[in-house]
């Protein structure tokens, strides 16, 4: 018998596998296919203060070993998430969920966190700081340690729930940003968000995506994500959630060895809607192959 249970920021999970925001919606479609209570948790669709239709199409492009997306945070807004989506989630998922929060100003992040603070179904709040700061020249909050610290500080004051900041890889030194978030009260960090990329259509000689650029995800980014988890683990003391190209049980083990307490599975869900379930089922055998009896003993073992 192996132990797959982990504790993320004080909340117990039966296993470390979380379905990533943006690839799992609010869970309802997947719950029609299998019992998603097998998941450690799932991170809800990125939520903003007001409803958003997202970017114009085309906003998805395939590429070797991955995909580009420029969906643009399409979501119903925080009020409908609280009044409609969370009650529905409670009908088919009986563990705490992760609320992924996006904003275009510090005040917007803080207000969403304030509204989520009293929601029992929400275990963790995950701050997506890859959004453009409309009051700061349009640069993403996560590209600067100062702005990352600013939004983390505001969110920390707005909620008592465990706060996990999702870091952008599109920076010179991700460890510096991680430390800034930790210093302002982040309980954990999730990394990485997507890498900036683009594709060109040879027939039209124009960008494939209407937005021109999009976020690269999938197996192609796994080595980058693994490297950044390894580096950030050495620089902070809070738990980490590893994200980026995870598509197998062995990927989970490798990410935990680098320093992750839990992982998020993203693009794999779009290729195979049973991906999270299949990875969880395969974990005990993968652990046995490498003589691992307790996943907690693996965390950060590469250091």
Which sign does the torsion angle of CA 240, 233, 251, 285 carry?
negative
Of the candidates 9, 113, 131, 181, the residue annotated as catalytic is: 131
CA–CA distance, 61 with 45 (Å, rounded to integer): 20
Instruction: Decide if 150 is inside a domain.
Output: yes
43 secondary structure, DSSP code: B
Residue 262 domain-assigned? yes
The whole-number pLDDT of residue 136 equals 60
User: What's the total number of domains in the chain?
Assistant: 1
pLDDT of res. 63: 92
Q: Which two tokens stand for residue 232?
A: 């950030």
Mean pLDDT of the chain: 96
| Rg of the chain in Å (alpha carbons) | 18
Q: Which pLDDT does position 134 carry in this prediction?
A: 57
Query: What is the CATH classification number for the domain harbouring 281?
Result: 3.20.20.70
The DSSP secondary structure of 66-122, one letter per residue, reads EEEE-----B--HHHIIIIIHHHHHHH--S-EEEEE--SSHHHHHHHHHHHTT-TTE
pLDDT digits (tens, 9 = 90+) for 43-65: 999 999 999 999 999 999 999 99
Q: Looking up tokens 């929060």, which residue turns up? A: 101
pLDDT of 168 higher than 90 = yes
On whether residue 302 sits in a domain, the answer given is no
Query: Crossing angle, helix 145-158 and helix 106-116, to 10 degrees?
Result: 30
Name the residue with tokens 């124009």.
206
Is pLDDT at 4 greater than 90 in this prediction?
yes
Nearest Cα neighbor of 36 from 93, 75, 78, 89 is: 93
Tell me if 160 is assigned to some domain.
Answer: yes
**Number of residues in the chain:** 303
Tokens of 261: 């307490």
Select the more confidently predicted residue: 2 or 1.
2
Quick check: is 218 in a domain?
yes
Supply the pLDDT for residue 1.
86
Predicted confidence at residue 137, as pLDDT, reads: 57
> Are the beta carbons of 168 and 140 closer than 8 angstroms?
yes
| 52: containing domain | 6-297
Q: For tokens 């996990």, what's the residue?
A: 164
The overall pTM is greater than 0.75:
yes
pLDDT in tens, 98-110: 999 999 999 999 9
Q: Is 131 a catalytic residue?
A: yes
Residues 60-115 pLDDT 10s? 999 999 999 999 999 999 999 999 999 999 999 999 999 999 999 999 999 999 99
Query: 19 pLDDT exceeds 60?
Result: yes
Looking at the chain, the whole-number percentage of residues with pLDDT higher than 70 is 97
Q: Provide the pLDDT confidence category of residue 135 given band limits of 50, 70 and 90.
A: low
Give the C-alpha separation, 120 to 235, whole Å: 32
Q: So what's the pLDDT on residue 81?
A: 98
Asked, for residue 267, whether it belongs to a domain, the answer is yes
User: Pick from 61, 54, 66, 71: which is nearest to 206 by CA?
Assistant: 61
Q: Which two tokens stand for residue 246?
A: 């995870």
**Residue 1 forms part of a structural domain:** no
Residue 155 maps to a domain? yes
């Amino acid at each position: 018998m192996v132990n797959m249970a982990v504790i993320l920021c004080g909340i117990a999970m039966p296993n470390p596998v979380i379905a990533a925001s943006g690839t799992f919606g609010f869970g309802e479609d997947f719950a029609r296919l299998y019992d998603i209570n097998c998941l450690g948790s799932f991170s809800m669709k990125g939520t903003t203060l007001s409803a958003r239709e997202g970017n114009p199409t085309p906003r998805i492009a395939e590429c070797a070993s991955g995909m580009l997306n420029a969906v643009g945070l399409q979501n119903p807004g925080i009020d409908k998430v609280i009044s409609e989506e969370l009650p529905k989630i409670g009908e088919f998922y009986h563990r705490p969920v992760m609320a992924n929060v996006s904003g275009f100003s510090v005040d917007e992040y803080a207000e969403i966190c304030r509204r989520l603070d009293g929601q029992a179904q929400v275990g963790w709040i995950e701050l997506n700081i890859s959004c453009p700061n409309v009051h700061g020249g349009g640069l993403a909050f996560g590209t600067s340690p100062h702005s990352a610290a600013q939004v983390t500080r505001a969110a920390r004051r707005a909620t008592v729930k465990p706060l996990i900041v999702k870091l952008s890889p599109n920076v010179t030194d991700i460890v510096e940003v991680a430390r800034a978030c930790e210093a302002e009260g982040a309980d954990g960090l999730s990394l990485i968000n997507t890498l900036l990329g683009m594709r060109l259509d040879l027939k039209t000689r124009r960008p494939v995506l209407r937005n021109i650029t999009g976020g690269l995800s999938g197996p192609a980014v796994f080595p980058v994500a693994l490297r950044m988890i390894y580096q950030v683990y050495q620089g902070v003391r809070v738990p980490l959630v590893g994200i980026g190209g995870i598509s197998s049980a062995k990927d989970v083990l490798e990410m935990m060895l680098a320093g992750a307490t839990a992982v998020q599975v993203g693009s794999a869900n779009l290729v195979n809607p049973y991906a999270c379930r299949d990875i969880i089922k395969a974990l005990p055998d993968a652990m046995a192959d490498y003589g691992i009896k307790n996943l907690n003993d693996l965390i950060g073992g590469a250091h």
